[in-house]
A and B are shown apart, each in its own frame.
Chain A
Amino acid sequence: EPEVTQTPSHQVTQMGQEVILRCVPISNHLYFYWYRQILGQKVEFLVSFYNNEISEKSEIFDDQFSVERPDGSNFTLKIRSTKLEDSAMYFCASSDGQGGAGELFFGEGSRLTVL
């Protein structure tokens, strides 16, 4: 069964360092997303991406964040200068955008720990 894959599964970094989280969405999907989840809290929307551009972003997604689809398969989230409060699980997701079937396919997540 097709799945969304994410790497790394866990990354530890120092405050102020740059981090890149990688995702391979399901191949025929059109919409890509990043969400984050601070431990024990809800899933928070960061950004959605369609047709090689950002379609929507939340207030969390400030100038320190960027996304890119550098080739036909990868979708990356970059945090330019990490802060302690960026420590969270980051989930990549994709959807096929067919008639709003309501289903997002999530990867297993990348746990980011900022020290």
Chain B
Amino acid sequence: GQSLEQPSEVTAVEGAIVQINCTYQTSGFYGLSWYQQHDGGAPTFLSYNALDGLEETGRFSSFLSRSDSYGYLLLQELQMKDSASYFCAVVRDNYGQNFVFGPGTRLSVLP
């Protein structure tokens, strides 16, 4: 079976740092992706980790530990526009053919 866990909600203030965790148990694992979804919008790709360690893209960073079946998304210098749902997704094969999404974490950024 496929199982991904994320916190359901996180709240933080503008300018703060927030970490959204994701643990997974899947049949097949090639990498972990993160997506952002604003209300009423489509998921949009943020980052991808195939190897252990930290990947940094501007204010967003993503971390993966394959041995712990764990990853996180780190958002720095939070802005109001970062209020959205964030989904981790396991990429199950090396063609990027099969993705399984986590339940999502709703991030609310307060002024």
A interface residues with partner B (beta carbon < 8 Å) = 31, 33, 35, 41-45, 48, 50, 55-56, 91, 95-109
Contacts and interface: CB of A to CB of B under 8 A. Distances in A.
Interface residues of B, number: 29
B16 to A, nearest CB: 25
Given A42-B87, A43-B87, A43-B101, A103 B95 contact: no
Which residue among A48, A104, A109 has the maximum number of chain B CB atoms within 10 Å of its CB?
A: A104
A96 B95 CA distance: 8
A72 B43 CA distance: 25
A35 B104 CA distance: 15
B54 interface: no
A91 B102 contact: no
B94 interface: yes
A-B interface, 3 closest residue pairs, ranked by CB to CB distance from nearest = A102-B48, A106-B42, A102-B33
B23 to A, nearest CB: 15
Contact of A100 (B31, B41, B103): B31
A100 B42 contact: no
Contact of B103 (A42, A101, A102, A107): A42
B99 interface: yes
Contacts of B93: 100
Interface of B: 30-33, 35, 37, 41-45, 48-50, 87, 89, 91, 93-104
Contact of B97 (A97, A106, A109): A97
A100 B100 contact: no
Contacts of B87: 42-43
A105 B33 CA distance: 12
B84 to A, nearest CB: 13
Nearest to B37: A43
Contact of B96 (A45, A98, A107, A109): A98
A95 B30 CA distance: 15
Given A31-B96, A98-B96, A104 B104 contact: no
A100 B45 contact: no
B98 A48 contact: yes
Contacts of A42: 87, 101-104
